[in-house]
Amino acid sequence: MRRPAAAFVLLILICAASPAQVNREDLLDPLPIRDQFLLSNGFFFFEPESARVLAENESVIAMSAADSNTFAKSAWISRSEFGNRGRRAALDELANSRFHLGGPVFLVDGETHRLEIAMHRGLGRNLELGVTIPISTIGGGWADRLIEGVHRTLSIGNANREAFRRNSETVYLQTATTQYVRERSVGYALGDVAISGKYELKSLEDRGISMSVMGALELPTGDPQTLDGSGSLDGGLQLVASRDFSRTRFHASLGILRLGSNGQLGTKPQVLVTDTFGLSHLLSDRTSAEVQMTISESPFRDIGIAEFTRRSYQLSIGMQRRIGRSLIAYAALIENVLSFENSADAGVAWGVTFRPPG
């Protein structure tokens, strides 16, 4: 964590010295939180963003980070481990012959730590370009005890977490055509770099309404063997819209993703739909609160595992705060709802956005 944490602190210090001005309306922008499922770390997903484009020659630099805990498993593991509190090593348990009777089996247990640096530039004529550079790692993490304690307090159960060791990493996926196994972190690595363009549809806008269309291309710069990349050229189109009501903004986006194949995890080229709906409200001239729901089809829906044929539902609740003239910082909690075996259990996200001198 040392290098990403040092970069994060350095960016805050740079931002504090910048004389550029952020607007009150920037506090109503959606939280830039993508799908958090551990197994999807290397796949391309859109992040919610403003429907407005930057003015000509205006720039924004953002750094965001998210830590997410995933504990997901196939139905056969849930039934086999029901009531087990042995805290065994996951791969030792999965070596039992009862888990190899021909049907697909998966266990995804671990935490992702993802850092992204994004740079956007307004080119005029309602056009904005951007680039996003992700750096991530997957490991056992630290949050298992905390999550289990919260689940017990809320009396919602721990979904057989007690059967396996806390804060250990296990990614085990076995289908009719694919087997992927890992239990050891390889440290921080570069992910797939994304290049995006956004065009604001001024002719379709009305007072308080903003609309834009966005296209993105993700380059295969990450390693699919470590789940840092997809191993293919991915991309998508997204329609983004928002409606302002004085101190409140409703925002929504509908994205179509075109993902290439991933040989490590056995996925084929496919088209997915993902969308986000949210509400932002100004609590003061310097503080806002946000709630948003992201609904996504899984990139693993066609590999023969029933749990992955369902859509994932990710709820994010957070706040944004303007600091000085140039900096906006945000923090958010992330939780899966409705469907629990194809998404991250819980997560936290935070970040900063600033406008360098023009």
Three-class SS string for 313-330? EEEEEEEEEEECCCEEEE
Q: Is 99 or 343 the better-scoring residue by pLDDT?
A: 343
In percent, the amount of the chain with pLDDT more than 70 equals 86
- Evaluate whether 358 touches 69 at the Cβ level (below 8 Å): no
- Indicate whether 144 pLDDT > 90: no
> Tell me, what's the pLDDT at 167?
79
In percent, the amount of the chain with pLDDT more than 90 equals 58
pLDDT band of residue 7 (cuts 50, 70, 90) is low
Tokens of 241: 């819209």
Q: What is the mean pLDDT of residues 333-345?
A: 88
pLDDT band of residue 20 (cuts 50, 70, 90) is low
Q: What is the mean pLDDT of residues 47-53?
A: 94
Rounded to two decimals, the pTM is 0.86
For the stretch 240-275, what's the b/e string if a residue is b when 16 or more beta carbons lie within 10 angstroms of its beta carbon? bbbbbeeeebbbbbebebbbbebebbbbeebebebb
Number of Cβ within 10 Å of residue 284's Cβ equals 11
C-alpha angle with apex 118: 308 to 201, nearest 5 degrees? 85
pLDDT band of residue 199 (cuts 50, 70, 90) is very high
Domains and CATH numbers, the chain: 2-354 (2.40.160.40)
- Indicate whether 14 pLDDT > 70: no
| Rounded Cα gap, residues 62 and 356, in angstroms | 11
- Indicate whether 124 pLDDT > 60: yes
> Tell me, what's the pLDDT at 324?
82
- Indicate whether 19 pLDDT > 50: no
In the numeric block, the tokens 């995804």 are attached to 108
Least confident of 80-84, 86-90, 117-121, 342-346: 80-84
Q: Could you say which DSSP state residue 16 is in?
A: H
- Indicate whether 224 pLDDT > 90: yes
> Tell me, what's the pLDDT at 358?
58
**Positive/negative CA dihedral, 313, 130, 357, 16:** positive
- Indicate whether 357 pLDDT > 70: no
**What is the helix (H) or strand (E) element at residue 353, kind and residue range?**
strand 346-354
Whole-number average pLDDT of the chain: 86
pLDDT tens for each residue of 242-289: 999 989 999 999 999 999 999 999 999 999 999 999 999 999 999 999
